[in-house]
Structure 1
């Protein structure tokens, strides 16, 4: 059974080969930080994806799942959002891009 009101936000990091992106830190520290802070607002899960080969373009994708639109808005507007965003320099200098995905 699917939740028709569920929302997925994709956070992407674009760059050239060799640009610093610490995958281990991202998976082991940043994503748990996101879940620790945003699960109370309706985040239901996160997953990280990386390209199989080093190349220019997308270096990382994070799939952030939320209960509904209100959950997304609450998480990104929460007091904890500043701590989540302040963690970025620990794994990259790349500015993340966010897009909300809609089910077909």
Structure 2
């Protein structure tokens, strides 16, 4: 049993959820984000396509903070996946 569960007399799961939500709100408090859309590609995997997009963008952009996958595509040759393309939204924290 975790420490948070012992502290909550009733609804330990709800208490943990709201505690985590409060921590998240404290981290994100008073920030402004700009969203951009990127499409990464890779012959290895969809994860590698995401990493490729973020690594390339981080060379010219600052404060990359989060991403969300919006679309995944692939190319098939001879009944095998040979290439991945993943489109992501990326949140940049404005200073």
TM interval, shorter chain, is: 0.3 to 0.5
* Structure possessing the higher relative contact order (Cα contacts under 8 Å, 6 or more residues apart): 1
Identify the structure with the greater strand proportion: 2
Q: TM-score, normalised by structure 2?
A: 0.35
